[in-house]
Structure 1
Amino acid sequence: MNRYPLWKYLLILMVIAFGVVYSIPMLYQPDPAVQITPASSGLAIDEGLQEDMLAKLEASGIQVKLDSTVELNNRSAIIRLADDDEQLPAKSALQDLLGNDWVVALNKVPTTPDWLTALGARPMSLGLDLSGGVHFLMEVDTEAYLNTRQADNVSAIKRDLRGERIGYRLVDADPDTARVIWLGFRDNEALRDGERYLERNYEQFTIDRTDYNDMPGLRLSLSDQEVANIEEEAVKQNLTTISNRVNELGVAEPIVQQQGTNRLLIQLPGVQDTAQAKKVIGRAANLEFRMEAQPGASSATSETFRYMNAARTAKLERDIIITGDVVTNASVSFDENNQPQVNITLSSAGGARMNQATRGNIGRRMGTLFVEQKTRVERTVVDGEVVETTERETTKEIISLATVQSALNSSFRITGVGDINEANELALLLRAGSLAAPMYFVEERTIGPSLGAENIRIGINSLILGMALVVGFMLIKYRAFGAFATVSLCVNILLIVALMSIIGATLTLPGIAGIVLTVGMAVDANVLIFTRIKEELNKGALPQSAIKAGFERAVVTIVDANVTTLIVAAILFAVGTGAVQGFAVTLAFGITTSMFTAIMLTRALTNLVYGRRNVEKLAI
């Protein structure tokens, strides 16, 4: 009556083997390490530099892992350390040795054997609360991006109308709303020509006829949906750029994701130098290329800017040729005077625009503007309390103003970028991509490595205590059947770890809480089954019949109860972020694996013990 066919036993053994193989990597904890990456393409890691780095660590009393040498990975070097506490001192020592030409980051290097890696088995990634690191929440200024887009549209419309020889007089952005552009034309014929051209080429605008400054005019306005699309584009572009910058930092297992409509969550496990992280990640730097204004140009068509490294100013045209958004690569080299310069490579569209702008302006000077959005915090005392006020400002400074010798294309260089460190930083920012819109830090937290280790210890102790109490209760209450439930519970934990490992899920402290909760929930199904068996025995059923009825009649209740909880876990994952998602993942995996272990594994163990013999009394 209570026997499984061979294929079911084989299926259970295969699932357990899967759990064992993909849980083993958790025994191979990654080594603490420092990663060294050149800040520019002109630098390389040679044998001499490797020896200098190892000698510097030895002189600083920092112990490198036994038999460890410098490991090269693409353009980076990795040095494994003997202890987590050595990471920060090692980073500081190497940064002093190498200077700002190199990026030194904390890292974790996997130690999983190759045969496990070949099977796709790797240890779970640890979240920020378990490994330590920095947490940033940044807000994207979508309104500023909309203003920039409209300024580009104004310049493009002027350029296109001139090219079509359409007689316009004014093209202005509305000072009160970024959604509207006004155009004034010379006469009604020019108005009609301009309207037809704009309807064909600027479909994103709704175009209405209306007089503007006593001239025949047009009102170009963006719809709510178009504004929403532009703002979403800004957030996605910034998300991509921030991800690229994090990769430039060489951080292991970073998290960069959108949170809400206009905020980005950035978590950098293992990073403790928040100043460097903020400097590279949060710097909203960009470039603008403009022609120098003609002598006598009015303030309506020109602006005055000061030089970055000199106490003088120059006047540039308001029309922007290109921005850093079209830069595809940037590297540092030295000019004929041994001064640092940044070599720029543009996209095909950017190169075409640069060529069009410069081929008719040979002999004139073109300015390179460095644009940066900054946040300044001012503290004032009000009624005895310190009140912080955040002010945001945009600075634009001239890097260089050079004469156009010939028409420029997709590749050219900019000089006057300051010292080598400033050139490297500018190249890094441009190489990673410029931010489409300014971003501001709204939240910042740092979690030390020791606190992360303490969280791991607390989480593991909670899991051990929870399992001990549950196992003790089951053994006392249900005796032999309690032992079956205990084996199923251990396999259940094994399968949760294996599933999280194989999909690359990140384990967080709330995730550990989800596993602890699963320990209690996993035996619920066994309790239902065992209680049903006892009820059948009390009704006078034979032991074998009671076992069969207990498992079969409790299955529907078990599935219904767990499916409803699984739906809640899915909702938590869909609408939650960060910690809530970590809890939802482990809860969902725990529910899925507990149904398998309670229904199939516990039944298999019961069948093996009681299924092939006559039983007069059950140990339950």
Structure 2
Amino acid sequence: MSDFPRWKYALVALVMLFGIVYALPNAFIPSPAVQVTANRDAPPIDPSIQQKVTAALAKQSIATGEVIVQGDQLLATFANTDVQKSGADAIRTALGDGYTVAFKLQSSVPAWLRAVGARSMPLGLDLQGGVHFLMQVDQDDVLDKQEDSYADDIRGLLRDKNIHYESVARNVVHGTGVAVILHSADDRAKSSDAIANEFTDLNVSNGPNTSDRFVLNAVIKPEKLRTLSSGTITQNLETLRNRINALGVSEPLIQQQGDNRIVVELAGVQDPAEAKKLIGATATLQYRAGIGYPNDPAAQDAARTGNIPPNANLYYMRGTHAPVLVSKRIIVTGNELTDASSGTDTRSGTPNVNVTLNAAGAKKMGDFTNDNIGKPMAVVYVERVVDTQMVDGKEVRTPKITETVINDATIQGAFSRQFETSGLGSPKEASDLALLLKGGALAAPVDIVEERVIGASLGQDNIDKGFKAVMLGLALVLLAAAIYYKLFGLVADIALFFNLVILVAVMSLIGVTLTMPGVAGIVLTLGMAIDANVLICERVREELRNGSTPHAAIRAGYEKAWSTILDANVTHLIAALALTTMGTGAIKGFGVTLMIGILTSLFTSVTLTHAFTALIHGHRKLKTLSV
């Protein structure tokens, strides 16, 4: 009789139920949709915008599933991609340039499944379509920033050493280092020794001199330049990952190509406009010492005459465009922020960004505010955008940097690590800025030099082919097992089917992105999963030939085959783990699918088949087995 315990029956039933529930969302095909978000100066999304969009679609007789407002976004669903495109064109015409209209695939999974955390498996670029960006990192900007930093440090060093100098500034010719101008040969010699001892990454040499001007050149060493270049790429990769994760794109591909390029692939993003705005942006904040307040006489005079004090920059306030003089001295920048979140100022009711500084930034901010209570401090919003124009039939991209003051207020008391910045135009602008700051600042600007959109129709063709491959492989394996092993083969077929169901359920639950290599991993998993049942069936046959009773043969077959099955799957698991941990992109996707498939196969091929076999044969007398 059967010795299969009842708790294992319960376990098998629960796992089968789990597989069915969490694999079911993949049967619901997502609906083509259009997502609308408000740009910086546009009115926020509200019911009036919803009515305007509904009226525009009805006017052009474009059928839509639903038009709903979700937070600060509006979503309109359509029956197919052709109607989706027509709907997007109609919405753009109705709303104008103040809103970003992007394509999207909206999940159609029922609410009761979503309530238990069930969701469809995200699809990769090759299955779902999406956008491909090739981005060029501006390494020259890194060199300029580093030379400016060295210039500041050298000025501080010379002041500490009481060495008088005329000026310390980055050379006009790019990449030629920092020029230090002194008044005597003795000062130059002292400066040379001090700089060489303090900054070992600089090559210091004498430059041309006149009767009263002695020049010293400090140039960054080649090995330091290589380290800077490598670090820039690494930081940009990490920053882009943070920003794209905030977009909600599942398992994006972000990797380095060559010395100064980065490849970004975003599955499911059919309109690249919103993604480009976020991943290419270099918006950040600079906290600077203020010289005056907006519209004070000195600022108005500087704006009118162009005579700006040498220690100041002339900026304009966001919104009012009032001139304001701001010190060139930067206290902290966005690079020193560790966290940022958007909110609302409790006193003024205006949008703000709550920021948290790292230890170094907190010390600098604490020292400055403690020494300058009652004086102004300006918050400068720095944004770099790329202006794209068509010249002679070619796309020309021109970087443009805008700097505006969003806040210029009096320091009421000392603060350091945590504080808030107000003066932002809208809640969405505060949210976008917080997202950029939290994701980190790009170490160097990036320009998109190549852009491709992979249509959803091509992805659907890949899905159809992948589905046919899985079904064909599954059908052939099921047929071969049923013919050769009869009833035991049919039990193995049921286990193989549930292996596929549980594999899809686990991948969906943990959010594994399915790609074509992942489909290959599923097909390979199904092929390998039947091996365990072949071993079990052959062991049972062997026991029957040796004269064992049917029940004893079943028991011995599972016990003796287990060690062989475990050994074989452990070696497969090690290989899959190596692919997962060391591989990237398609290789990693294949490894993850294979690793999950091996684990599910161990359960279904042994425990699930044993449960079904015990259920069929366990409570009746047997003369032989259909194996």
1:543 corresponds in structure 2 to 550
Q: CA deviation at 1:507?
A: 1.6
Q: CA deviation at 1:228?
A: 3.8
The yes-or-no answer on 1:437 pairing with 2:444 is yes
Q: Tell me if the contact between 1:206 and 1:223 (Cα under 8 Å) persists in the aligned partners.
A: no
For residues 411-560 of structure 1, the aligned pairs below 5 Å read 432=436, 435-441=442-448, 444-560=451-567
The yes-or-no answer on 1:107 pairing with 2:104 is yes
Q: Which amino acid aligns with 1:602?
A: T
Q: CA deviation at 1:471?
A: 0.6
Tell me the distance in 2 between the aligned counterparts of 1:23 and 1:172.
Answer: 63
Question: Structure 1 residues 234, 150: closer, same or farther in 2, change over 3 A?
Answer: farther
2:91 to 89, 94, 99: 94
1:6 corresponds in structure 2 to 6
2:123 to 117, 122, 126: 126
Q: Which amino acid aligns with 1:57?
A: L
State, as a whole percentage, how many aligned pairs show the same letter.
34
Q: State the TM-score, normalized to the length of structure 1.
A: 0.73
Q: CA deviation at 1:525?
A: 0.8
Q: Which amino acid aligns with 1:600?
A: T
Question: Structure 1 residues 317, 170: closer, same or farther in 2, change over 3 A?
Answer: same
Tell me the distance in 2 between the aligned counterparts of 1:219 and 1:192.
Answer: 14
2:265 to 264, 267, 270: 267
Q: CA deviation at 1:103?
A: 1.3
Q: CA deviation at 1:575?
A: 2.6
Question: Structure 1 residues 345, 8: closer, same or farther in 2, change over 3 A?
Answer: closer
Tell me the distance in 2 between the aligned counterparts of 1:259 and 1:593.
Answer: 34
Q: Which amino acid aligns with 2:615?
A: L
Question: Structure 1 residues 430, 471: closer, same or farther in 2, change over 3 A?
Answer: closer
SS at match of 2:109: coil
2:76 to 79, 85, 93: 79
Give 5+ residue unaligned stretches, structure 1: 304-315, 332-341, 380-387, 415-419
The yes-or-no answer on 1:70 pairing with 2:64 is no
SS at match of 1:36: strand
The yes-or-no answer on 1:23 pairing with 2:23 is yes
Question: Structure 1 residues 158, 426: closer, same or farther in 2, change over 3 A?
Answer: farther
The alignment of Structure 1 onto Structure 2 pairs a total of residues equal to 568
2:590 corresponds in structure 1 to 583
Tell me the distance in 1 between the aligned counterparts of 2:612 and 2:382.
Answer: 74
Q: Tell me if the contact between 2:192 and 2:216 (Cα under 8 Å) persists in the aligned partners.
A: no
Tell me the distance in 2 between the aligned counterparts of 1:533 and 1:345.
Answer: 68
Question: Structure 1 residues 14, 320: closer, same or farther in 2, change over 3 A?
Answer: closer
Q: Tell me if the contact between 2:123 and 2:514 (Cα under 8 Å) persists in the aligned partners.
A: yes
- C-alpha RMSD of the superposition: 5.3
2:45 corresponds in structure 1 to 45
Tell me the distance in 2 between the aligned counterparts of 1:326 and 1:487.
Answer: 58
Q: CA deviation at 1:457?
A: 1.6
1:308 corresponds in structure 2 to none
Q: CA deviation at 1:4?
A: 0.8
Q: CA deviation at 1:144?
A: 3.8
Q: Tell me if the contact between 2:129 and 2:267 (Cα under 8 Å) persists in the aligned partners.
A: yes
Q: Which amino acid aligns with 1:54?
A: T
2:148 corresponds in structure 1 to 151
Q: CA deviation at 1:487?
A: 0.9
1:138 corresponds in structure 2 to 135
SS at match of 1:469: helix
Q: Tell me if the contact between 1:35 and 1:77 (Cα under 8 Å) persists in the aligned partners.
A: yes
Tell me the distance in 2 between the aligned counterparts of 1:397 and 1:444.
Answer: 22
Q: Tell me if the contact between 2:278 and 2:436 (Cα under 8 Å) persists in the aligned partners.
A: no
SS at match of 1:268: strand
What per-residue deviation string (whole Å, max 9, x for no partner) do you get for residues 12-49 of structure 1?
A: 22222221222222234433322111112662223222
1:34 corresponds in structure 2 to 34
SS at match of 1:506: coil
2:297 corresponds in structure 1 to none
Tell me the distance in 1 between the aligned counterparts of 2:232 and 2:513.
Answer: 28
497-506 vs 231-240, greater mean Cα deviation: 231-240
Question: Structure 1 residues 144, 43: closer, same or farther in 2, change over 3 A?
Answer: same
SS at match of 1:71: strand
2:299 corresponds in structure 1 to none
Q: CA deviation at 1:394?
A: 7.2
SS at match of 1:138: strand
Question: Structure 1 residues 432, 87: closer, same or farther in 2, change over 3 A?
Answer: farther
Q: Which amino acid aligns with 2:266?
A: L
Tell me the distance in 1 between the aligned counterparts of 2:74 and 2:273.
Answer: 22
Q: Which amino acid aligns with 1:439?
A: V
1:232 corresponds in structure 2 to 231
Give 5+ residue unaligned stretches, structure 2: 292-301, 314-325, 344-350, 413-419
1:334 corresponds in structure 2 to none
Tell me the distance in 2 between the aligned counterparts of 1:426 and 1:13.
Answer: 50
The yes-or-no answer on 1:613 pairing with 2:607 is no
Tell me the distance in 2 between the aligned counterparts of 1:479 and 1:190.
Answer: 95
Q: CA deviation at 1:468?
A: 1.0
Question: Structure 1 residues 84, 194: closer, same or farther in 2, change over 3 A?
Answer: same
Q: Which amino acid aligns with 2:619?
A: R
Tell me the distance in 2 between the aligned counterparts of 1:435 and 1:180.
Answer: 23
Q: Tell me if the contact between 2:243 and 2:278 (Cα under 8 Å) persists in the aligned partners.
A: no
1:567 corresponds in structure 2 to 574
Tell me the distance in 1 between the aligned counterparts of 2:84 and 2:355.
Answer: 39
Q: Tell me if the contact between 2:196 and 2:202 (Cα under 8 Å) persists in the aligned partners.
A: no
What per-residue deviation string (whole Å, max 9, x for no partner) do you get for residues 184-224 of structure 1?
A: 7657689779978998xx7xx43789663487979686795
Tell me the distance in 2 between the aligned counterparts of 1:272 and 1:373.
Answer: 21
Question: Structure 1 residues 430, 194: closer, same or farther in 2, change over 3 A?
Answer: farther
Q: CA deviation at 1:149?
A: 2.6
What per-residue deviation string (whole Å, max 9, x for no partner) do you get for residues 295-324 of structure 1?
A: 7999xx999xxxxxxxxxxxx999989878
Question: Structure 1 residues 181, 280: closer, same or farther in 2, change over 3 A?
Answer: same
For residues 292-307 of structure 1, the aligned pairs below 5 Å read none
Q: CA deviation at 1:243?
A: 4.9
Q: Tell me if the contact between 1:286 and 1:372 (Cα under 8 Å) persists in the aligned partners.
A: no
Question: Structure 1 residues 321, 375: closer, same or farther in 2, change over 3 A?
Answer: farther
